[in-house]
Amino acid sequence: MNLKIIISSLTIAIAFLWPIEIHAQKFEFNDNCIKAYQSFMAMKVESGKLYLKNELATNNKNALPLVLINYEDFITLTFNENPSEFKKRKPLLDQRLNLLENTDKNSPYYLFSKGLLRLQWSIIRTKYGEYWDAAWDFRKSYLLFSENKKKFPSFKYNNVFLGTQEALISTIPSGYKWISTILGLKGNMKNGMGMLKNYFTSNEIPFKEESYLYYIYLKNYLENDIDGATSLIASHNLDTKNNMLYLFMAANLALNNKKASVTESLILNRNKSKEYMPFPMLDYELADAKMKRLDYTGAIDLFQKYLNTSKSDFYIKDACLSIAYCYYLQGDLAKANAYKQKIKTVGKQEADADKQAQKFSQSGTFPNTELLKARLLNDGGNNNQALTILLAKDVKTLRSESEKLEYYYRLSRVYDDMNNDDKALEFYNYTIKIGSESTDYFAARAALQAGYIFEKKGNKSEALRYFNMVLDMEDHDYKNSLDQRAKASINRVLGK
């Protein structure tokens, strides 16, 4: 019996003529499949498709191409968001799941493959606002991986994805806790990270790229081991020049960890060959890095390029806000206000950054110039210049209580980044004292950072006190993301 599998996209249409003998189909993670997977993970999408086409031409009973072609959707739809493309590709999940029913159900790949497809589409659906369907796909994926681990405990590939899920479930913030309750999911961060680490440090080749990505990101954000996460990129010789996902990970971590110059260097020195799929988010990241070094002109050009080339609804509002800030800091209030107004009419409010941009466009005035510069410089890693600006500022001249709150928060962050723990804690505590009832996020983030300092010092009781303080603060910006970090920190301190 013959089945025709047609996998199509807007950019290219490829038809795999795949004769399938029902109940006799096998799974082989062979050389073609490994190279296809590695190509997709490097963002060489067309190369990945070619390897799968070659595999089917010589080994048409291999079911792995059916699973691996899903990486095209996963990579493309997750990193180059395109609502029309998402709508077109959605039916592919059910098609592929149905075709998997004709494969060898006694193979450890059977449940694993179904779990992997469900997990990838749960992430994709989240990016496009289909949260309920995403949650159910996540649950189904978790149960499939769990069942497969029981049936085939020596099948190591489960650990990459089940470990990631375990770690993430354990840190679901209170605002989304109903999801894990309804779905019946329980996670353990220590166990999940342990499963990932075991695979990360093994000699296995399949799915190695994802084990690197998930472990390093979670090590940074859940374990708060910033130096450890960064060092793994170097110690494992991850190719950030020729692998665009590694590049994005390294550049994104550097930017979020206040190393704007590192981000800029990584992105500018990447392989710019056309064999890689377009990746507008790199322009956004590079623009952000330039802005945090006060390179306003360079930042504006790149943010504008992102607006012109991205089909995504994500970070569009934030890009407009960033352009407005750059013009504002150059004294061009007409263009600054024009981009402030533009925020209201473009993009969506799914990401926290876009929500903040929308909030600013509707009610905010431009921030104090010195505070904004100090924030950008500190976020980019230029703490000496940021501290000079802050210490030269007369707090009495600030216009509002919100600006005063931000001033003390910024001062504490700079001292923290300069490893002056005493000064940092002094101003963190003052920020918490005057801002615990504010809708601004400064007090909650101050409590989180203070908890990190005490955790570093080995004072678990004080660390837990501050982390719980974060959870107790209500109705502020970034509530869910800060709660998630606080909960991960509590789990970490308690050894859970």
Asked whether residue 266 is domain-assigned, the answer is: no
- Would you say residue 117 has pLDDT above 90? yes
Asked whether residue 136 is domain-assigned, the answer is: yes
For the segment 287-346, what is each residue's pLDDT rounded down to a tens digit?
A: 999 999 999 999 999 999 999 999 888 899 999 999 999 999 999 999 999 999 999 999
pLDDT at position 118 is 97
The answer to whether 404 touches 395, Cβ cutoff 8 Å, is yes
pLDDT at position 14 is 29
Q: What is the mean pLDDT of the chain?
A: 90
Asked whether residue 324 is domain-assigned, the answer is: no
The answer to whether 83 touches 128, Cβ cutoff 8 Å, is yes
- The residue range of the domain holding 104 is 1-155
The answer to whether 188 touches 170, Cβ cutoff 8 Å, is yes
Asked whether residue 439 is domain-assigned, the answer is: yes
% of the chain beyond a pLDDT of 90: 79
Say how many CA atoms lie within 13 Å of 296 toward its Cβ: 14
Q: Is 84 exposed, middle or buried (0-12, 13-18, 19+ CB in 10 A)?
A: exposed
For the segment 346-396, what is each residue's pLDDT rounded down to a tens digit?
A: 999 888 899 999 999 998 789 999 999 999 999 999 999 999 999 999 999
% of the chain beyond a pLDDT of 70: 93
Asked whether residue 347 is domain-assigned, the answer is: no
For the segment 30-49, what is each residue's pLDDT rounded down to a tens digit?
A: 999 999 999 999 999 999 99
Is pTM, for the whole model, over 0.85? yes
Asked whether residue 449 is domain-assigned, the answer is: yes
Asked whether residue 15 is domain-assigned, the answer is: yes
For the segment 417-433, what is each residue's pLDDT rounded down to a tens digit?
A: 999 999 999 999 999 99
Closest among 425, 428, 454, 456 to 442, alpha carbons compared:
428
- Would you say residue 187 has pLDDT above 90? no
Asked whether residue 444 is domain-assigned, the answer is: yes
Please tell me the least confidently modeled range out of 169-183, 211-225, 236-250, 447-461. 169-183
The answer to whether 124 touches 73, Cβ cutoff 8 Å, is yes
Pairing of strands 13-19, 2-8: antiparallel
Closest among 254, 153, 248 to 198, alpha carbons compared:
153
User: CA-CA distance, 342 to 143, in Å (whole number)?
Assistant: 44
Which residue, 155, 175, 205, sits at the end of a domain? 155
SS3 232: helix
User: CA-CA distance, 233 to 230, in Å (whole number)?
Assistant: 6
pLDDT at position 471 is 94
User: CA-CA distance, 459 to 452, in Å (whole number)?
Assistant: 10
Cβ neighbours for 365, distance < 8 A, ≥ 6 positions apart: none
For the segment 37-82, what is each residue's pLDDT rounded down to a tens digit?
A: 999 999 999 999 999 999 999 898 899 999 999 999 999 999 888 8
pLDDT at position 189 is 86
**CATH (domain of 439):** 1.25.40.10
Token digits of residue 299 = 């930042």
Q: How many residues does the chain have?
A: 496
Token digits of residue 155 = 């099948």
> Which pLDDT band holds residue 481 (cuts at 50, 70, 90)?
confident
pLDDT at position 363 is 84
Q: How many domains does the chain have?
A: 2
- Would you say residue 165 has pLDDT above 60? yes
Rg (CA), the chain: 24
Token digits of residue 417 = 């980044």
Which residue, 155, 177, 205, sits at the end of a domain? 155
Which residue, 104, 129, 155, sits at the end of a domain? 155
149-160 burial, b if ≥16 CB within 10 A, otherwise e?
Answer: beebeeebbbbb
- Measured on CA atoms in the order 157, 158, 163, 164, is the torsion positive or negative? positive
Lookup result for tokens 């840190």: 171
> Which pLDDT band holds residue 175 (cuts at 50, 70, 90)?
low
User: CA-CA distance, 427 to 143, in Å (whole number)?
Assistant: 46
pLDDT at position 278 is 93
| Mean of pLDDT values over 230-244 | 95
